[in-house]
Structure 1
């Protein structure tokens, strides 16, 4: 009876943890490695799994961000035969995420193969195709929150609202082996309490072992009210400088929050003075999924949604689906708010907008989400004066803003508060965080427990969860 930490261990992306109870092998998440450039991502995500996919009985998915779900089509392609359990809205969102990622992978492979063919090099295969994505989606089984389900002879699963993005879940596994019972709680990504649209993360009381994310373990967010004021000031400053506002935003979660906030603060922020462009096909589809699950909203948003739709709330919102529509935005020199993916500027249409706008002093670039190490977004917020896009060196002259209070992740205070609701201080393992953030959280939470941050390949004995972590032989 043990847990093996295989991904998002002392780093943020690639979430993957293997729970073994008796003969049952349950995978918590199966995500992509992200950040560090396309070559590093392709190498990491193309590596064989450190286990036989056919030996996995079930996957439990916390939510639909690709760093948690993006390798599931590869898992199925490599022989996984079981079910993938997740919240119903997450199941629907995964179709959007998988198909978009598959199209990108197919397109990139096609482009690279044209070059490789001319050089006489062997052709490459995409990480997964649209056919692989469709096959993976057939393995999904959607669940409601707080509805127990036996997923193996010795494993009962419950999901609770994590408040991170639509359909995000805290995972609870009740496991038993030879009369020994243990309760494992995996936080997934915990939401930032008070966030627009969604409910706050669920507090739980009982656990023997807690796997908790630590993305913002080393800092506390500004208050929501301060962040709202800051966004209003950014728009005011941009209006005075006569430029455009670029917002790299994650297609799922952050984009929908921004649209909601622009509608809610329409008069206060002077939103009527702007033309808003939602320039992300995936974000457009994700927004439609959000509209299908209004029963998961918080009370304030449900009330607003019952009376209006986005089109009514934001009459100046433009949905740009096609590449031609996207390119037309680059002709606009002022008065545009451009929301585009990807959130860390590692791909998507935001890179084209950076190329066309980031060198102009009157423009503003606003980051409203986490920027992982080695990503283009991280380099910009750390003060890069030039960036390279498609081989061209481009000056960064636009005013750069980071509004950390818009994060969809709980901060240090929120993480500690969530953990402290557990009784009897269960064993705490920190995942999904950079080393510096994890060490800061370990220090901050010392008055309540001794937290540990396992590295990739380490294993926790569930029969003795406070014992030292064990290094696993890769050949075993």
Structure 2
């Protein structure tokens, strides 16, 4: 086999989620991240399909950080035959210890609910991608290492971590790969944090690379991030706006890890300073509860860690654990705030809270993070008048608000500055972890910064040989790519179908009598007959 290293992009290519990069050299194979696909149903179906590589042949897995779109398929990888080490930082290991079993539990619960509906509809029974027990078993293979210390994983590979400033324990991964004179130096950015992150220091990294793989989530956005005081004022304004409804609720879909803890710290500061009227603040997420405990243990490693510890002593803040405690929230009277996972409204207790409140005009939903294309969060953000949750149609009367000042990702100018600090990059920069407009935006910015850059926008499952003179794209295997580029990072037919069904129901409801409804239905039937459907 060739000793020239290669890289294949098995996820986060043309989309934000599903991070998974395979680096090969001869018969040695190392995987960077193994994340869950989120977004449209078409993309999420990739989670159930076999890996496009042989898990048993991997020498090592290296994780950039604990977020599920970077780690969420690790239990499946182990279940499918991988028995080697899984390297990460100590904080990432601690977070994965709570996040991966939670992911397995959510899959078990949601598949159980789906199968009850499938039985009623006469459809096939499905099985979860993995269970909580599978996740716990996979954790025995995790190995933690500190930042900036080289670790040899095989004759052809060694790596070290650099602080990425994105999340507790998050890292960029520097790799040296190759045999003899065919050695290459690569850096995988992971997710890069912004300059003003409450709990994180500025991202770091080496310079003088052969190849750079860089995230581009906000590659076309200049957020002009506010200061700490400005951020809290913006949050205060949102709370006060929502609190005008005395018996209303402010629902905040939030990632359970770091975003929730940042919100807690800021809400507690606003309460302490009298900026907002005291009200119950409920963290309705067992995962967020356990993640907060991890953050508390690592408080000394965090910037402003004492703010979180102080927030946890607030009398207004409480955590739910059991399903009964969660259900009891529905009985609350008076204005209250509920923070619940998941941040894109794709799973977890936030879906129950939305189902209970979206149809009420006294409710406010505050989106505080990135919403991937095709997710329920993005559909709400885009102004849907009705949505479907767990098979039920819910009209949207709640106020949908967005506050994008808690992002864990660097924006376009910050990404460009981070890349500039990594120069020189001898051969190429690969742009990943972004939807196509974001990738195009960062591409243009980097090209303007350095016209000599070779900038590559890889598609899903594409392979590149990392030669000493630049990259060579290889033809995909016959069964690849698993999805055509046009189907990655976009709404799919499932989204369009749900939207059409709800639009049809709306038109029928507004029709002026039985005859007009019959006309609408006859036209639809005629269109179906004409297409042969």
Stretches of 4+ aligned residues off by more than 6 angstroms: 118-121
Please report the TM-score for the alignment, with normalisation by the length of structure 1. Answer: 0.93
- What is the deviation of 1:402? 1.0
Contact 2:240 2:276 in 1 (8 A): no
- Secondary structure at 1:419's aligned position in 2? helix
Maintained 8 Å contact 1:33/1:41: yes
For residue 70 of structure 2, the aligned residue among 68, 71, 88 is 68
Counterpart selection for 1:257 from 255, 262, 266: 262
Residue-by-residue CA offset, 1:228-269 (whole Å, 9 max, x unaligned): 322111112222333221100001121111111122333457
Matching residue within 189, 192, 195 for 2:191: 189
Greater Rg over alpha carbons, structure: 2
Provide the secondary structure at the position in 2 that maps to 1:462.
strand
1:101 equivalent among 95, 100, 103: 103
Question: Which residue of structure 2 aligns with residue 337 of structure 1?
Answer: 337
Q: Which residue of 2 aligns with 1:400?
A: 400
Q: Distance in 2 between matches of 1:146 and 1:235?
A: 41
Q: Report deviation, 1:303.
A: 5.0
- In 2: Cα distance, 1:42 partner to 1:425 partner: 34
Residue 322 of structure 1 is matched in structure 2 by: 322
Is the aligned partner of 1:164 residue 2:171? no
Q: CA deviation at 1:122?
A: 5.7
* Mapped partners of 1:355, 1:422: distance in 2: 46
Partner of 2:391: 391
Quote how far apart the aligned CAs of 1:108 are: 3.1
Q: State how far apart, in whole Å, the 2-side matches of 1:8 and 1:133 are.
A: 22
Equivalent in the alignment of 1:442: 443
Question: Could you list the per-position Cα deviations for residues 46-68 of structure 1 after superposition, in whole angstroms to 9, with x for gaps in the alignment?
Answer: 11111111111100011111111
**CA contact 1:31–1:66 (8 Å) conserved in 2:** yes
Which residue of structure 1 aligns with residue 379 of structure 2? 379
**Structure 2 residue aligned with 1:358:** 358
Alignment of 1:280 onto 2:290:
no
Q: Distance in 1 between the 2:184 and 2:300 partners?
A: 32
Rounded to whole Å, the distance in 2 between the matches of 1:423 and 1:280 is: 42
Counting matched residue pairs gives 469
Cα distance in 1 between the residues matched to 2:123 and 2:401: 43
Which of 466, 469, 475 is equivalent to 2:473?
469
Compare 349-358 and 338-347 and name the one that shifted more. Answer: 349-358
- Equivalent residue number for residue 493 of structure 2: none
Q: Mind listing any 5+ residue stretches in structure 1 that lack a counterpart?
A: none
TM-superposed CA distance for 1:210, in Å, is 0.6
Change (3 A) 1:123 1:385: closer
Q: For residue 127 of structure 2, what is the aligned residue in structure 1?
A: 125
Q: Deviation of residue 182 (structure 1)?
A: 1.4
Check conservation: 1:457, 1:471, Cα contact below 8 A.
no
Counterpart selection for 2:9 from 1, 5, 11: 5
Listed as ranges, the gaps of 5+ residues in structure 2 are: 481-533
Change (3 A) 1:396 1:206: same
Q: CA RMSD in A?
A: 2.0
Q: Is the 8 A contact 2:381 2:400 kept in 1?
A: yes
Give the secondary structure class of the aligned counterpart of 2:356: helix
Q: CA deviation at 1:465?
A: 6.3
So what's the TM-score if we normalise by structure 2? Answer: 0.84
Which residue of structure 1 lines up, in the alignment, with residue 92 of structure 2?
A: 90
In structure 2, the residue corresponding to 1:208 is in which secondary structure?
Answer: strand
